[in-house]
Amino acid sequence: MDVANLIQLLHSARSDSEMRPTLIRNFQKLVWNFNGTIHSESVDSILRDLAYDLDYYEPDSLWRMQDSSFYGEKRAIEEISAAFVKLQSAGLKTE
């Protein structure tokens, strides 16, 4: 798996509100189903943590009301942006 493809997928998820749920699910599937090292231990940890954190993203506001651990669009974008900062600190280009 190419980490650049994952980064592009996250950029698309951050900017495309209509496709965000699908793009996030695709990112999660790729990260969770990959056996081995994606890039490096630190980058892999950041990506796996993000995939886990995005599991609480719920685009449907009615579903979010049922559980306070779920969050919506704004927080999903913040989680992705925070992961980009961490990835940059780990030496990875995210732009």
95 within a domain of the structure (yes/no): no
36 within some domain: yes
Would residue 9 count as lying in a domain? yes
Number of domains in the chain: 1
**Residue 94: per-residue pLDDT:** 86
Q: Determine, yes or no, domain membership for 94.
A: no
Instruction: Identify the CATH number of the domain in which residue 57 sits.
Output: 1.20.120
From residue 61, give the alpha-carbon distance in Å to each of 20, 25, 70, 85.
Answer: 15, 18, 9, 28
The parent domain of residue 39 ranges over: 3-89
Determine whether 47 is exposed, middle or buried from the number of CB atoms within 10 Å of its CB (0-12, 13-18, 19+). buried
pLDDT of the chain along its 95 residues, tens only? 688 999 999 999 999 999 999 999 999 999 999 887 777 889 999 999 999 999 999 999 999 999 999 999 999 999 999 999 999 999 988 88
pTM over cut 0.75: yes
